[in-house]
Chain A
Amino acid sequence: MIGSGDSEHEEVAELLGAYALDALEPGEAVRVQAHLEECPRCSTEVARHHEVAGLLANSGAAAPAELWDRIAERLDSPDNPVVSDTPDWEKLAVRLDRPPGIPGVLADQSDQQALAGSASGGAVVPMDQSRRRSRRVTRAVTLVATAAAVLALLLGVQVAHLNSRVGQLQSASSQPGLSRAVQTALEQPSTKRVKLVPSGGPSAGGPTVTVALTTSGTAYLIPQDLSALPSAKTYQLWGEIDGRMISLGLLGPHPAVSAFSVNPTAPVSVFAITAERSGGVLQPTHAPVVQGAVTA
């Protein structure tokens, strides 16, 4: 019989060690869980027991490599159920002792935010600030715009970087989110495909990037065999608009499939990708790694 007040607390406290070791019957575990939601002292004790148990279980064994392959296959698998609850990014940032707003993953690009902010005084390309889960919404990481990209914003260009593997995209036609969106776009006869290749022409095993331009203004960038850059560098996407090279955003040192929008009234005549220093530049400082012209 459940006691009241202090006696209930003491009865539950006796179960905390066993609870931390998953050694309770289901009904007892539920009782303890309910108590923990209202008792910070007991919650702290359980956290401490978990830490000790973790030390007991700690081993220096290497992670089985073949297991990772199976995990990685399922990270974007359609079999993964899309859950309806959406983690609140702000709450997560606080709990992870991170400042809310742009996460640390963009730390390398923070200086170009400053560039963007000082150059224009306007808004930087908005990052995806929260993790949205929807069968229709594609997964987005961030591309922080340079000052030139802010100018591109004024021309109606936004860039969102979506993280996915090229290999998975090319091999599956039923993947959710971005992959499906790209597949759908590629199936449309009206979608323009722009092939970006090295200046010397395409070569076997050489890098190729395809830009799929839809009539709605949404565009997808699909890189193939682009070599990874050192962490201090980044690939940068450019578009020639009215004779000027405008930065369309940063792709990071390991580009993945990306989605962005272009303004149909300010069409891009040439797409190019250069390798620049981390944080991006206002104008290309190197010859393009790949480039391609948009044909009528």
Chain B
Amino acid sequence: MIDLQSASDPNLVVAIARWHEPAMAEAYRRHGGAVHALARRVLRHDPSAEEITQEVFLDLWRHPEKFDSQRGTLRSFLLARTHGKSVDMIRSEESRRRREDQTSRETATAGYDLEHHVWDLTVAEQVKESIAELPEEMRQPIELAYFGGHTYREVASILHAPEGTVKSRIRLGLTRLRTSLAERGVEPAGAPS
């Protein structure tokens, strides 16, 4: 029997692939909070966030082979799937009507939400510093796209900026963040070098 609490994430996924429910519980213990928090942040609807959280972990149970430790951490894998499912949900018709009322508020507070949602015992400060260094014209599109669930076209409309400019700023902003974090010694585990 493996010592679950000290097992690496890849080892947990190996155990999950062998239908090991305690390993699944350990994966949920480690990452369920982050998954749920991101879903809540994007969806702003607790029942939907709970549904997404369940689906993300059930997907892991049914298809553990989709996780590739060579491409990134289990946390980033789960969060990417969480975000994708959350965005799919909010782009449904009824969700879009709810969100339209919040768009103007998002624009006003976009610059601050990124910092408020990043907290981790070991990397919080470095991440905050990197975000603070990011020009606002890069930070806002990332915030609106990632936490607001908007397409880059919608972001361009919200910010009254050209679509090509928004695409570039999102891409460049993410690249700058990675460089800045690396300079601060924050290297996502398992990320390709």
Contact = CB atoms under 8 A, between A and B. Distances in A.
Interface in A76-132: 80, 83, 87-89, 91-93, 95-98, 103-105, 107-108, 131
A35 interface: no
A268 B18 CA distance: 30
Given A17-B171, A92-B65, A108-B2, A55 B150 contact: no
Interface stretch (A62-70, A147-155, A188-196, A216-224): A62-70
A97 B70 CA distance: 8
B135 interface: no
A22 B87 contact: yes
Interface string A25-62: 10000000000000000011001111111111111111
Interface residues of A, number: 69
B26 to A, nearest CB: 11
Query: Which of B23, B29, B53, B79 has most chain A Cβ within 10 Å?
Result: B79
B79 A104 contact: no
B19 A131 contact: yes
B19 A20 contact: no
A105 B15 contact: yes
Contacts of B70: 95, 97
B21 interface: yes
A21 interface: yes
A92 to B, nearest CB: 5
Contacts of A57: 34, 37-38, 41, 79, 82-83, 117-118, 146
A62 B33 contact: yes
B192 to A, nearest CB: 5
B63 to A, nearest CB: 7
A231 B14 contact: no
B164 A48 contact: no
Contacts of A75: 21, 24, 58, 61
B178 A51 contact: yes
| Chain B contact residues, majority secondary structure | helix
A23 interface: yes
A98 B11 CA distance: 8
Interface string B151-193: 1110100000000101110111111011001000010100110
A72 interface: yes
A23 B145 contact: yes
Contacts of A70: 50, 54
Contact of A63 (B36, B67, B77, B175): B36
Given A23-B150, A23-B151, A60-B33, A53 B174 contact: yes
A165 B22 CA distance: 11
B65 A58 contact: no
A199 to B, nearest CB: 26
A88 B87 CA distance: 30
A239 interface: no
Interface in B40-73: 41, 50, 53-54, 57-58, 61-65, 67-73
B72 A47 contact: yes
A80 B1 contact: no
B83 A21 contact: yes
B3 A231 contact: yes
Contacts of B7: 104
A20 B174 CA distance: 10
Interface stretch (B92-100, B103-111, B119-127): B119-127
Contacts of A273: none
Interface of B: 1-3, 7, 10-11, 13-15, 17-25, 28-38, 41, 50, 53-54, 57-58, 61-65, 67-73, 75-77, 79-80, 82-84, 87, 114, 117-121, 123, 127, 131, 142, 145-146, 149-153, 155, 164, 166-168, 170-175, 177-178, 181, 186, 188, 191-192
Interface of A: 13-18, 20-25, 43-44, 47-64, 67-68, 70-72, 74-75, 80, 83, 87-89, 91-93, 95-98, 103-105, 107-108, 131, 139-142, 163, 165, 231, 234, 252-254, 278
5 contacts: A43-B71, A49-B175, A56-B114, A83-B62, A163-B21
Given A72-B24, A103-B17, A141-B20, 6 more contacts: A44-B192, A50-B72, A56-B127, A56-B142, A71-B53, A163-B20
